[in-house]
Structure 1
Amino acid sequence: MQVGPQNKRGSMPPDDPADHPLFQRRIRPHRSMSAAQVRVMLVFVAIGGIVTSLPFVLIGAWPVAGFFGLDVLMVYLAFRASFSSARAYEDIRVTALDLSLRKVSPRGITREWRFNPVWVRLDRHEHPDFGTQRIELIARGDRVEVAGFLGPDAKAEFADGLGAALGRARRGVRYS
């Protein structure tokens, strides 16, 4: 059963070109180690702590072993915080008639913006030595940073693609 508008012959009309994405990305923070690699590294850190603290325990300075255990705990907590912050992401989608940006925090809090891509300006903050430092979308007095957790080279590539999509959106929809 078909749902939606139909033409005289009963078939569905073709997709509207205005709804086709010109640019669509999901950006996530980069993590250099997987969860399995972190577990292996924690095992090695724990073994190193045990081996290093063993001589102190044998000579009677057993409180030193607790401090080595604290080191392992601190490394574990640091990686746990890193992996929880990796749950954040940004979705950006540009069509000929709409630019939508959705930012989701590590806790799942979502913020969304919608703009007309014709009126959006892309502002790139460049540093001569360090490359692209910040990318902002500016529309109706709003300034929204995008791709904040990408590195300079990835930000430049992202900004180039987004800028090209905004240019195509300004040229309008092609129905032929």
Structure 2
Amino acid sequence: MPKSIGRERGKPVALGRVVKPHGTGGVLRISPFNPESDAFLHLKTLLLRSPRTGKQRELEVREARRHKDCFLVKLDGIDSIEDADEVRGWDALAYPDELEPLEEDEYYYYELEGMMVRLESGRLVGRLKGFIRTAAHDIAVIEGDEGEFMVPWLDSTVVDIDRERGVVVIDSESAVVRSE
């Protein structure tokens, strides 16, 4: 059987958003969705996508460094303040095969999306649709038969994540808030 040329890169994962240019040489100031992650420091390519139009550009990373609460990233093809300003507000994404491996008890949110969500009692709540970032804490969005629900994503509400079975267990029905 012939070997496949190339590789399956997977669906790009949103890591942050371009806030503004930094200086005049085309460096981007990117605010990470996960401030604790150093993912930008290890990427070879970065995908920029306009949330408004869907237009995207895949560019090689020349340099990346942490700066205060964000990352300063220099990409091939963005060489001026005008170029950088064109992608202001765009999402910064990476392919899963470029993300750093995590410890056994760590995970990327995209790995959990689609998992079933159950209460400790065993009752099925729905399927994990995605996450919303807030200043206080992240919120899991769950889609169930009765509509969409939200759960604070905290150590106190998330009891277990079973990747093999594809199930997230949350502590109690009181943790579930119906979305209006």
The TM tier, using the shorter chain, reads under 0.3
Looking at secondary structure, tell me which structure has more strand per residue.
2
> Which of the pair has the greater relative contact order for Cα pairs under 8 Å at 6+ separation?
1
Give 1 or 2: higher helix fraction: 1
- Tell me the TM-score normalised to structure 2 length: 0.26
Query: Which of the pair has more CA radius of gyration?
Result: 1
